[in-house]
Structure 1
């Protein structure tokens, strides 16, 4: 079921390739930040990063953006608002399968773009572990980052069961995560207090952890410890999203 729906989504992506290319143009922020931090580092390294390291960092950010981004919040919000959710609730497959398939259907196109960028980032980063071990850790972190982002999107979208639109909450989420996920700068650039806050929030597992693994900032046992924390965060968030969704669906069915 997921494979079939994902294939349909892939065909839609290919058919609407102009829309996909326009979406790619929204990924300019990491490149803007790269230029900004290069200017900051014109007189030398800053925060443990030199020009080569910050270049690798923001190339890795582009990869993480491409492979962990999803549109589930828009799909959930629209299904609730238009009543399309009733159609999916009558199907034997859970609506989450449709949302997951929509996300996975875009992955082939995103991988095609991100793999050359990933290669460029790896070429500029130090090799802390065996390359294959490092690649396994990187793609595991990216997969878990996508699952965490998907859970947060469904959680935010489920607010639409109680509010007319949940997209305002998503805008707040987008702004907050851009700062606390490592998308605009390495989390080590934050003041110590904000670093401690970012360490306990899920945003870092979407962008910062994959980026830090790509750039070789972690090695040895630290990699697997962080991946274990990421998996635990993913399980908890998906369970919470499912719980809120169930409560919302009961309300939706009760009020029609």
Structure 2
């Protein structure tokens, strides 16, 4: 029988936690950045994530790496490649052409009102430049509610706030916070997170690795509660079942249930349907 579990969200103690489809896929065995999966997500109102790299003309393409060799049958640096060249390439996983930003703008017009697409920007502000900012503004200024733009470069996120003020923004201070927790302890982590939340990016969502969230909680620091006090949502990334068919092992269940008790607003996963299925099996055993 075909599995019809949508992989959209989980509920615990009256709180909804969305499941975000990492890199536009529903299982680790599926191709990365699938336009077919994105269309399905738009139809059912899913939360999804993709990576964007700037190309030679200032537009963007859905790829993770700086170079074409790893993900496509092309060669060279993405930022030096023209859109017409990209359209002639094939993704190694899936055999389809790479998705360009113009494709995203067109597909967004079909999105369910609950659908949310995260643009994870893999280049910094200096690399993207004025041409890239102008391109994003021209294509996505009216996409408020349908997309959120995130990235590791806070200067880029601040610039996007000016150019696309109606588009939600996300930040990921995980690396900094992990280092601080190890070197200076929870008080330093709390101070750094508070500074990020009060900073010029004015984030809607904070992306934190789930091991960091749990390690901080064990040290007495609730990172999710801090973000919620600032009116920010939290995405805990990236939780994948070791065996999607078997469900949670006891160790995985202990970690995942501890994470859910902290009430994240979203959990990133490459196995959304399997995770939803495993959650239901644990909270309603025997069904």
- TM above 0.5, one fold? no
TM-score by length of 1: 0.26
Q: Which is bigger in relative contact order (C-alpha 8 A, separation at least 6)? A: 1
From the two aligned structures, give the one with the greater strand fraction.
Answer: 2
